Amino acid sequence: MRALPLILLLTLVPLAAEEHPAPAPKAKAHPKVVSAPQHAAEAPVAAGPGTPKAALAELSAGNARFVAGKRVRTLDTGQDAAMRAALVQGQAPFAVVITCSDSRVPDALLFDQEAGRLFTIREAGNAPDLQGLASAEYAVGHLGSKVIVVMGHTSCGAVKAVREANGKPLPGNLWALQAGMAGLLESTPQDPNEDAKGHLAHLEEANARRQAQALLDRSPLLRDLLVAGKLAIVPALYNLASGKVQFLKAVAAAAAAPAHH
Ligand SMILES: [Zn+2]
C-alpha cells in the first residue's frame, strides 16, 4: 500500500476539484484562472439564461412574481424527488447571490428560483471575506454563472452594529464585520438633515454598491469576465416590507480596467 498514495492523490485531486469549491493551493497566491467551462450536458431541471442580461431579467421577473404572490418555480413539492434526481447529475446556477445571513432574506423564495439555479453566499452584512470571494470565483469561473448580485437589505443588523460602534471595536469576532465594511462610514457620513434611520438606509445601499465594486478590485478573474461582457455584477437592495428587490446600477466595465496585464 505504500506505493499507492501518490497515484491515488494524483488521480483524486482533479476529481475533488470538480466536486467542491477548491481551496486555493497554499503555495500560490493566485490560483490559476479556470476558463469558464459550460456544463450544458449536466444542466439540471431547467437550463438557466445564457447571458448576463437574461440572467438579470430572470431574477427581476422572479422577484416580481414573489412580490405579486404568484411564485411558480418554488411551489410544486410533487416535483421534489425529480428535482433531486436531476441535480445529482450536476449544477449550472445562472446567478450568484451574495447577501446577508439575515433570516428574513430568503433568496430562493424572493427570486422564485428552485434548487440548482442560485449559487448563494451569505455572510452578515453581505461583505464577503476571502472564502466568500473564492466561492464567487468558483461559481462564475467553473459553473458558468452569468451574474453576481450583491444584495443588501433594509433593517440590516450588521450595518446597524457597525454604524453604532462608530469605529470602536465590536465584541468577540464581530470586529470582522467592521473590517469587511472598512471605509463605509467615512464614505457615507450622516447628513445633518437625516435621522439615524435615514442614515442607516443610506449605509445599507452604499454598502451594497461598495461590496459589488470591491469584488472587481479583489478579483482579476471576475474583472476579466466583466470586461469581456461575460459577467455582470449588480448591487441590489431587498426591502423587507414590500419584498421588492431594487437593482442598482451595475458595476461598469470601464471602471474595471484590467490592472494586472
Ligand atoms: Zn443584514
- Confidence (pLDDT) at 123: 96
Distance 125 CA to ligand 1 centre (A): 5
Which residue is associated with the grid cell 493566485?
30
- Confidence (pLDDT) at 33: 39
- Confidence (pLDDT) at 255: 53
Please check whether the domain covering 44-256 is classified as CATH 3.40.1050.10.
yes
What is d(CA 161, CA 172) in angstroms, rounded to the nearest whole number? 13
Distance 177 CA to ligand 1 centre (A): 11
Pairing label, strands 245-247, 232-238: antiparallel
Per-residue pLDDT of the chain (261 residues; tens, 9 = 90+): 344 444 433 333 333 334 444 444 444 444 443 333 444 333 346 788 999 999 999 999 999 999 999 999 877 777 888 889 999 999 999 999 999 999 999 999 999 999 999 999 999 999 999 999 999 999 999 999 999 999 999 999 999 999 999 999 999 999 999 999 999 999 999 999 999 999 999 999 999 999 999 999 999 999 999 999 999 999 999 999 999 999 999 999 765 455 444
How many angstroms separate the first and last alpha carbons of the chain? Answer: 46
- Confidence (pLDDT) at 14: 38
- Confidence (pLDDT) at 56: 98
Distance 110 CA to ligand 1 centre (A): 15
At 97, which helix (H) or strand (E)? strand 95-99
Phi/psi-derived region of residue 140, left when phi > 0, alpha when psi is between -120 and 50, beta in every other case: alpha
Distance 234 CA to ligand 1 centre (A): 18
Sequence ranges of the domains in the chain: 44-256
Distance 200 CA to ligand 1 centre (A): 11
- What protein residues have CB closer than 5 angstroms to ion ligand 1? 100, 102, 156, 158
